[in-house]
Amino acid sequence: MEYLKTSQDMPLEEKLQVLTDAAKYDVACTSSGVDRRGNGRSIGSCVAAGICHSFSGDGRCISLLKILLTNECIYDCKYCRNRHSNDIPRATFTPEEICTLTMEFYRRNYIEGLFLSSGIIRNPTFTMELICRTIWLLRNKYRFNGYVHVKAIPGAAPEVIEQTGFLADRMSVNLELPTAEGLRTLAPNKHRKSILTPMRQIQNGIQANRNDLVLYRNAPKFVAGGQSTQMIIGATPENDFQIINVAEGLYQKFGLKRVFYSAFVNVTGDKCLPALPGGPPLLREHRLYQADWLLRFYGFRAEELLDERRPFFNIMLDPKEDWAVRHLEQFPVEINRAPMEKLLRVPGVGVKSARRIVAARRSGSLTFQDLKKIGVVLKRALYFITCSGKMMYPVKLEEDYIVRNLTSEKDRVQFGSDGMGYRQMSLFDDVNFTRPVTVIEQQQAAVGQL
């Protein structure tokens, strides 16, 4: 008990430092999905799009006060900084401290709400109860009306999870690793089943709550912002195809709002973990997010993007370009006619620009100039589209040619900064005007005829 006592005596600054440091590898820092006006009597409101209040030195957004309730964890997951065999400073917040910090930061517009996670203290149910009590205090005593994201602890009693769900805007259960096998080797205290159970419970809760809300408009909302999860990428040998298949399954079967991918950072130096001399696999994480967007907003399916024979994403091309160059039979797409679904599959055309194209072509046919105004990225799109039957430049619809142009700086069709136009020549350009010396010329030179 004396140990707990010393941690209580720690000054607030130190505690915040320890527990922020412990929480920083959690990725899901979003404040989106809930639109809730202020109620006029207490502090707080939520904006559907979410608001990021700052950006840290690694470029990730700071939207919520992301902290752990405690890092005195009894589990020993090999990838986790807070595993109990790791020798790091430990601390525990009291619920009051968390509430005051949240309120004071929120008033000053530093944060959009609270993200509360926790190491496992004593047992999962006890931890979940502590989290629930903290959120209850924040909502009822401090009358906080802003965004709250909490972690559901796998293995906690369903009653506590349900109770927390009525207080929080978003809940998440971390899948941690994409496959059950990976979980077994690296996180001996966690099981695939105990992770999926609360996930299913929250999904059912949201569904039931939606039905209640139809009947009773003022029924309390259960996890209004939906649930999310995260996976660690690169700690275990799964391939990209497996990962996006898992993600697709989660979106379809568990109705998740988001799946987050977190490039693995080796913080514990455990012998079971891969050493990453080149730093965390950030490009791989980036490609997975790009694919994730294609799944959610562009009508792609996982097996269209990858298959068993090519289980990894292309390093040079993004997944959409990659798909397009392998399906050239579907191109070029005529901008003035093609349906929305076809437009969405063109590299360089996003959801917004596709919508604008469909709206703008009602009042007249569009040219490449107009597409630029609309926001289409022409340097990617030009190989795949026609406007009124014409392509922008005479380009070949051929896989090698397009890949070369999309990837290499030198061979690319020359652009100005605005995506189209011509370049001013200068005397110092090496445009390769010289031609190679022919055999005949060599002979002429040798006998002195030149």
Residues contacting residue 66 through CB under 8 Å, at least 6 positions apart:
20, 23, 24, 26, 29, 115, 117
The only residue of 1, 5, 54, 428 in contact with other proteins, by rule CB under 8 A: 54
- Strand locations in 282-408 (E): 333-334, 385-386
The only residue of 2, 3, 9, 59 in contact with other proteins, by rule CB under 8 A: 59
For residue 168, give both structure tokens: 């929080």
Q: Is 251 in the site for other proteins (CB under 8 A)?
A: no
Strand order in the sheet with 65-68: 65-68, 113-117, 147-151, 170-172, 227-233, 258-263
Question: Long-range CB contacts (< 8 A, 24+ apart) of 79-83?
Answer: 79/176, 79/186, 79/187, 79/232, 79/235, 79/264, 79/266, 79/267, 79/268, 79/270, 79/273, 80/187, 80/267, 80/268, 81/21, 81/22, 81/25, 81/267, 81/268, 82/22, 82/119, 83/268
**How many residues lie near other proteins (CB under 8 A)?**
57
Q: Is 334 in the site for other proteins (CB under 8 A)?
A: no
Going residue by residue from 9 to 28, which x/- string records binding to other proteins, judged by CB under 8 A? ---xx--xx--xx-xxx---
Contact window for other proteins (CB under 8 A) among 51-59, 288-296, 331-339, 395-403: 51-59
| CA gap 106, 103 in Å, rounded | 5
**Minimum distance from CB of 375 to other proteins (Å)?**
9
In the complex with other proteins, the residue whose CB is nearer, 66 or 170, is 66
| CA gap 114, 147 in Å, rounded | 6
In the complex with other proteins, the residue whose CB is nearer, 37 or 423, is 37
**Minimum distance from CB of 16 to other proteins (Å)?**
6
Q: Is 359 in the site for other proteins (CB under 8 A)?
A: yes
Query: Looking at this protein, which amino acid is placed at residue 100?
Result: T
> Other CB atoms closer than 10 Å to residue 60's CB: what's the count?
12
In the complex with other proteins, the residue whose CB is nearer, 68 or 305, is 68
Among left, alpha and beta (phi > 0; psi -120 to 50; other), residue 55 is beta
Going residue by residue from 279 to 308, which x/- string records binding to other proteins, judged by CB under 8 A? xx-x--------------------------
- Mapped onto helix, strand or coil, the DSSP state of residue 121 is coil
**Minimum distance from CB of 217 to other proteins (Å)?**
21
The only residue of 5, 362, 423, 435 in contact with other proteins, by rule CB under 8 A: 362
Residues 383, 406 contacting (CB under 8 angstroms): yes
In the complex with other proteins, the residue whose CB is nearer, 10 or 265, is 265
- Mapped onto helix, strand or coil, the DSSP state of residue 359 is helix
In the complex with other proteins, the residue whose CB is nearer, 106 or 298, is 106
**Minimum distance from CB of 110 to other proteins (Å)?**
5
Q: Is 57 in the site for other proteins (CB under 8 A)?
A: yes
Query: Where in 60-119 is the site for other proteins (CB under 8 A)?
Result: 60-62, 65-66, 101, 104-105, 107-110
The only residue of 76, 162, 270, 370 in contact with other proteins, by rule CB under 8 A: 370
Going residue by residue from 116 to 155, which x/- string records binding to other proteins, judged by CB under 8 A? ------------------------------x---------
Q: What is the DSSP letter of 221?
A: P
For residue 128, give both structure tokens: 């979940």
Q: Is 44 in the site for other proteins (CB under 8 A)?
A: yes
The dihedral sign for the CA sequence 26, 29, 35, 40: positive
In the complex with other proteins, the residue whose CB is nearer, 113 or 198, is 113
In the complex with other proteins, the residue whose CB is nearer, 20 or 444, is 20
| CA gap 238, 224 in Å, rounded | 33
Residues 176, 195 contacting (CB under 8 angstroms): yes
Query: Where in 230-249 is the site for other proteins (CB under 8 A)?
Result: none
**Minimum distance from CB of 237 to other proteins (Å)?**
21
Applying CB under 8 A, the residues found at the interface with other proteins are 12-13, 16-17, 20-21, 23-25, 37-45, 47, 51-62, 65-66, 101, 104-105, 107-110, 146, 263, 265, 279-280, 282, 356, 359-360, 362-364, 366-367, 370, 373-374
